[in-house]
Amino acid sequence: MSRSSLRTKRLIEADKKYIWHPFTQMKEWNESTPLIIESAEGNYIIDTDGNRYLDATSSLWVTVHGHRVKEIDNAIKKQLGRIAHSTLLGLGNVTSIELAERLVEIAPKNLTRLFYSDNGSTAVEVALKLSYQYWYQNGQHGKKRFISFTGAYHGDTFGSMSVGEVGVFVDKFHPLLFKSLYAPYAYCYRCPVEKSYPTCKIACLDKLEEVLKEHNNEVAAVVIEPLVQGAAGMITAPDGFLKGVARLAKKYGVHLIADEVAVGFGRTGEMFACDTEKVRPDFLCLAKGITGGYMPMAVTLTTEKVYKKFLGRYEEFNAFFHGHTYTGNPLAAAAALANLGLFKKRNTMDRVKKSAAVLAKLLTPFSELAHAGDVRQRGLMVGIELVKDKSIKSQFDPADRVGHKVCMDTREHGVIIRPIGNTIIIMPPFSIKTAELKKIVQTVFESIKRITE
């Protein structure tokens, strides 16, 4: 890959001079030669020197039908000919209404009301606030805590961080966060109750039940990433775990908040992860894939029962006093409508299931790799956990930057992926072709071998 043009050099210099990148040690960034992306075509992204890379992370879990999709491009252009933005504060707008109708149609049947925001963190923040305020207005002022799971990631605002559990994201902020309760997620490779599936009968759920039994009077909701914990490293829960969590939430009279920001819109093989186990959450948080990877937008769906608890006379002040400037943005809603329209037109869910089966087959040789401890997959979400010694599942030293090195190596071979620590993530767009999947998996395989063996 040549990255030598004067223009690229100038852009890199300016990037390093001004931009602070997310989740990034900027010293390391400043010593690197970053890629500067300028355009895209289908499943490829293209840098300023014309090098093409397969987008095997879906541009961080958002791209659905690939890049520069004619139908979505046109929907946005058409909307630009009408209006780019109008507020939902005191006004309605056409595309946000049409999108709300579509979302309620496809969401779990009990979810009939929808609140717009603009990113995953705020979608979760809204669910937390609605849940708490619901109980408050129900006269249950004591229900003000949340239960979440080990390894949970729900975003980077203070509320969403407070229900998060990934150390590097939240540890330093602990004194500023509200205190949540935690139960173990079903991380089978490193089982929290030291059993194995399926003989365990999902015994880790007992821990959740213990917490609920002791604290349900002070708990508003259980917050979960259904089926797959993304940021924890694509931890795939076994069948029945989600259903079990939903059953316990109901049994102990607390809300269930399903954070489907990452898994929603088809990633796990069903439109929503909750559909897989026929779970009906009280809140469903959606973002990332909603606009097909085009624009920021998020929604929090909830039930009629929750909605009604906020109705009353103005001066009772029972309304939900919350909102964001770009709430219900018409351009983003137009993109989302076009994105959803394509699911039907392109038979996207069939395609996801087929690609997931192909991917599973392609991943089988990974068990031969000396350092691939666990290879996890659900739909088109894959995590390959690299370990120093497979027999004892020991971790690599963070200073070795093994995951990072693997991803830098695949990049030199035309495939963009991102690690989470030493877990290698593969999450292709649904438009990925079989030949492209092969190229991605083969490149990742060879890079892991080159870097770790």
Ligand X SMILES: *Cc1c(COP(=O)(O)O)cnc(C)c1O
> 66 with 42: CB under 8 angstroms?
yes
Dihedral (CA of 401, 403, 405, 407) sign: negative
Of 78, 39, 54, nearest to 431 by C-alpha is 54
- The answer to whether 64 and 293 have CB atoms below 8 angstroms apart is yes
Task: Say whether residue 326 binds ligand X (CB under 6 A).
Answer: no
Binding-residue pattern over the window 246 to 275 for ligand X, x denoting contact by CB under 6 A: -------------x-xx-------------
Contact status: 166 vs ligand X (CB under 6 A): no
Contact 26, 20 (CB under 8 A): yes
Tell me the β-bridge partners of 101.
none
* Residues β-bridged to residue 285: 259, 300
For residue 360 the two structure tokens come to: 């599973």
Q: Work out whether 117 is an interface residue with ligand X (CB under 6 A).
A: no
- Interface residue with ligand X among 108, 230, 292, 419 (CB under 6 A) is 230
155 is an interface residue for ligand X by CB under 6 A: yes
DSSP 3-state of 103:
helix
Interaction pattern, residues 58-87, with ligand X; x per rule: CB under 6 A: ------------------------------
Do 146 and 163 contact (CB within 8 A), yes or no? yes
Cα→Cα distances 48→124, 205, 294, Å: 36, 50, 20
Identity of the residue, 124 or 246, whose beta carbon is nearer to ligand X in the bound complex: 124
d(CA 178, CA 175): 8
Site map for ligand X, 284-323, x if CB under 6 A? ---xx-----------------------------------
Q: Is there binding between residue 348 and ligand X (CB under 6 A)? A: no
Which window, 12-20, 88-96, 150-158, 235-243, contacts ligand X (CB under 6 A)?
150-158
Applying CB under 6 A, among 121, 162, 302, 447 the residue interacting with ligand X is 121
* Contact assessment for residue 376 and residue 236, using Cβ atoms and an 8 Å cutoff: yes
In the complex with ligand X, which residue's Cβ is closer, 149 or 252? 149
Using the rule CB under 6 A, which residue among 58, 119, 133, 300 binds ligand X?
119
Q: Which residue has the tokens 């980077």?
A: 156
Min dist CB 258 to ligand X, Å, is 10
Cross-strand bridge partners of residue 423: 385, 420
Cβ 334 to ligand X, closest distance in Å? Answer: 19
User: What number of chain residues touch ligand X (CB under 6 A)?
Assistant: 15
> What is the nearest approach in angstroms of ligand X to the Cβ of residue 60?
8
Residue 225 within binding range of ligand X, rule CB under 6 A: yes
CB contact at 8 A, 280 and 321: no
- Of 153, 294, 343, 430, the one binding ligand X (CB under 6 A) is 153
**Which spans of this chain sit near ligand X (rule: CB under 6 A)?**
119-121, 124, 153-155, 225, 230-231, 259, 261-262, 287-288
